[in-house]
């Protein structure tokens, strides 16, 4: 089990750059941006090719945890390198790593939390798993499947539709709440509260 002094590493998966900011593929970035805002932290460049915020999360007392929020700046398909470098730098055990990412096989706006498992064709997860194995937490933010014959790559790199945007703030807020619950109260409690 984890060393209690070790921080949690919460990684939002996405692509850097203004042109990707509103894409479905960038919901992980949106969630860690909100968590940083809640912690009153500002992202700073880290030598691991990532933007990070260090701080504390959770209620005062024993459930208050040291956390590092991270956004890899390497592009989605190469997320594993920066995440592994951050893991080594902060000495984070695998069961304290959380990847927040978009998930095609779950309807929008549905959340599912889990520990370990496959990558389901998600290139960010594939890169992380290749670099450090599959035993990290996932906060899977459902975006649903592309309509008609639209290619998956085109779908994930498009912004949320105007209909989806009506629920996006609520969805990102709920995903951020689920990360806080996971860290303060553990996976089972977070799953029973947020898995739908």
| Residues in the chain, overall count | 196
**E strand residue ranges, 13-128:** 44-46, 50-57, 65-72, 97-103, 111-115
CA 12 from chain centre, in angstroms, equals 3
Q: Does the annotation mark 122 as catalytic?
A: no
Tell me the C-alpha to C-alpha distance, in Å, between residue 191 and each of 36, 69, 185: 22, 21, 10
d(CA 70, CA 55): 12
Among 25, 46, 122, 137, the one annotated catalytic: 25
Active site residues: 25
């Amino acid at each position: 089990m984890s060393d209690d002094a070790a921080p949690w590493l919460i990684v939002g998966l996405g692509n850097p750059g203004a042109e990707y900011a509103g894409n479905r593929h960038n919901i992980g970035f949106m969630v860690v941006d909100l968590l940083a805002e809640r912690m009153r932290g500002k992202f700073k460049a880290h030598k691991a090719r990532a933007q990070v915020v260090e701080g504390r999360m959770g209620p005062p007392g024993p459930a208050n945890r040291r956390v590092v929020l991270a956004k890899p700046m390497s592009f989605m398909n190469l997320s594993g390198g920066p995440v592994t470098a951050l893991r080594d730098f902060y000495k984070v055990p695998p069961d304290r790593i959380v990847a927040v990412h978009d998930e095609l096989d779950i309807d929008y706006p549905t959340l599912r939390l889990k520990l370990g498992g496959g990558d389901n064709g998600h290139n960010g997860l594939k890169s992380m798993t290749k670099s450090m194995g599959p035993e990290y937490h996932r906060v899977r933010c459902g975006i649903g499947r592309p309509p008609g014959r639209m290619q998956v790559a085109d779908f994930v790199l498009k912004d949320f539709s105007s209909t989806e945007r009506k629920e996006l703030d609520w969805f990102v807020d709920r995903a951020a709440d689920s990360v806080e619950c996971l860290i303060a109260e553990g996976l089972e409690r977070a799953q029973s509260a947020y898995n739908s």
